[in-house]
Amino acid sequence: MKNSIIEVENIAIVDTIFEQKFECDLKKCKGACCTLESDYGAPLLEDEISVIEKFWPIFKKYLSKEHIKEIEKNGFYYSIDGHLMVRSINKRECVFAFYENEIAFCAIERAFLNKEINYKKPISCHLFPIRVADFGGPVLHFEEYKECAPAIEQGEKNGNTVFTFCKDALERKFGKKWYKTVKEYLRGTNA
């Protein structure tokens, strides 16, 4: 199963998601996924905008003055050709990023983990390093960044793949039943 695509319930999955070892190692990567240099921010769904706006007064306390000012002046998202993206600062830091011990964290996720809100973070961030493309339907693929080399090392050490590492996010996006169906399909192909 090298560089092939499987389809489960109309969702296409590039097989590297099942083969690539991956497990975040924040002590080494320093939260690089929140600070990757790019002309584009993390993808955002339209229905996530109102949820983030609703919880803004709760999670903004984790952000620096610079990030709060940026959001209050320019908003936390923008659109290019109908694609919504989270705004970043200097084409690098997500506007929701904050630092502890030189590690970037998500302010939304921190509020969620502290049980202050019931929304974890944008689904594209939760799914990372999986990206969802649309070619007449969702296509899931592994997006590799050099900044994530420590995650690949950690995944190899502990035996976790992108698929197992992203279990919670995949279940959140596509459902527990779908995730279980994919696992059963994989067991069948490895038999």
By the 8 A CB rule, do 8 and 178 touch?
yes
**pTM assigned to the model:** 0.91
- pLDDT tens, position by position, 80-114: 998 999 999 988 999 999 999 999 999 999 999 99
- pLDDT tens, position by position, 172-184: 999 999 999 999 9
Higher pLDDT, 40 or 47: 47
By the 8 A CB rule, do 60 and 182 touch?
no
